[in-house]
Structure 1
């Protein structure tokens, strides 16, 4: 069990539920949002989020990459994991300290990235 909380942002309900289950099974406390606006509302009210796990492609004024950039500026301590099935990111496009994975991603790859981020947040 870890003390780190993960915020999962995914607009596809089935993918979001699957991601929440995967991360909770690893012992993390999970919050979820279906878009960037809801994610920011959660971040405004919680100071225990240590990892943002977000899809890029979402409806609304802000996509997941914009969300990740905003989080990096406002909450620099939060680790960032970005995924997408439609967009490829160059390393330079990923916010500093963040990581990017293409969908479909391997469960083991995401879990490794979560545990690495968790280890960094404990520093």
Structure 2
């Protein structure tokens, strides 16, 4: 039986996080969610080997923002595909560690799910 693989959604805005979780679950993916990068790092300590993709906002409260989180993920769990989103910052894909991707908010369902499916 294949190992269960998750994606991790990280956003401090409850409605945006809930919408992203619903979007990925509707696409048939199993999802973990966190309110900020610190909570995400804690989840990764337990589930990191089972997580295939990270979908994170950049601007969040806590000791790390989304970009800091992608750097930690790259060092500790290099198999995880990082996908970063923001409505305030604009980045190029090459600014995201580990061949990650940047997607502007508001994002299209088909674009995000297509990128995430690369990790599965």
TM-score normalised by the chain length of structure 2: 0.92
Deviation for aligned residue 1:90? 2.8
CA contact (8 A) 1:5 1:31 kept: yes
In 1, the alpha carbon distance for the partners of 2:10 and 2:27 equals: 18
**Which portions of structure 1, spanning 4 or more consecutive aligned residues, are displaced by more than 2 angstroms?**
none
Structure 1: 5+ residue runs without aligned partners?
Answer: 119-123
In 2, the alpha carbon distance for the partners of 1:17 and 1:50 equals: 19
Aligned to 1:22: 23
TM-score normalised by the chain length of structure 1: 0.90
Structure 2: 5+ residue runs without aligned partners?
Answer: none
In 2, the alpha carbon distance for the partners of 1:91 and 1:29 equals: 25
Equivalent residues, number: 117
In 2, the alpha carbon distance for the partners of 1:48 and 1:84 equals: 25
Deviation for aligned residue 1:32? 0.2
In 1, the alpha carbon distance for the partners of 2:14 and 2:22 equals: 12
